[in-house]
Amino acid sequence: MRTGTFILGVLVTLALVACGGGEHDDLRQWMKESTKDLKGKVPPLPEIKAFPIVSYETADLVAPFQSSRIEPEKKAGGGGIKPDLNRPREPLESFPLESLTMVGTLQQGKMAYAIIRADKSVYRVKIGNYLGQNFGIITNVIETEVQLRELVQDAAGDWIERSSTLQLQEQEGNK
């Protein structure tokens, strides 16, 4: 059986070799005739421009990559604005401002209060109370929002003021 399989394999191989030889001669001849007059042309490279040499005199100029050219001038004493780190913290300062929601307002005499929800608790706040984790002090309470001034550090480490608001959130049933 093995010799029969070997002979059959040799015959199939010879048949394939015989079939593959001359089929594409006409195609090869046509390609040779069609490309006989074609010549490839590559354009020459553009001429390299010479740039003028500029000397850099460092004696009386500021270095171009020195940080003082990029950063604004620092004020002596760090700008003067700093949060009071010694005052007692209020309960709503432990929550990020994004997690607090304003759910309403109250008017008692001339004093306006905002009702703030943090987690599942409700708090009453007024002008002068602190909110959020960025030393935010309430500057105004109106019917639709609480306005506050936060103290945040910039890239240089100085404290700067930033205005923020906490908008009144409508309930799903009132929409």
Radius of gyration of the chain (CA): 41
pLDDT in tens, the chain (175 residues): 577 777 877 777 777 666 665 677 888 888 888 888 888 788 899 999 999 988 766 667 767 777 666 665 655 555 578 888 899 999 999 999 999 999 999 999 999 999 999 988 999 999 999 999 999 999 999 999 999 999 998 887 888 999 999 998 876 555 4
Domains detected in the chain: 91-174 (2.30.30.830)
CA distance 43 to 23: 39
Q: Specify whether the CB–CB gap between 141 and 134 falls below 8 A.
A: no
Q: In what order do the strands lie in the sheet with 101-108?
A: 101-108, 111-118, 121-125
**The model's pTM:** 0.53
For residue 24, the tally of other CB atoms under 10 A from its CB is 10
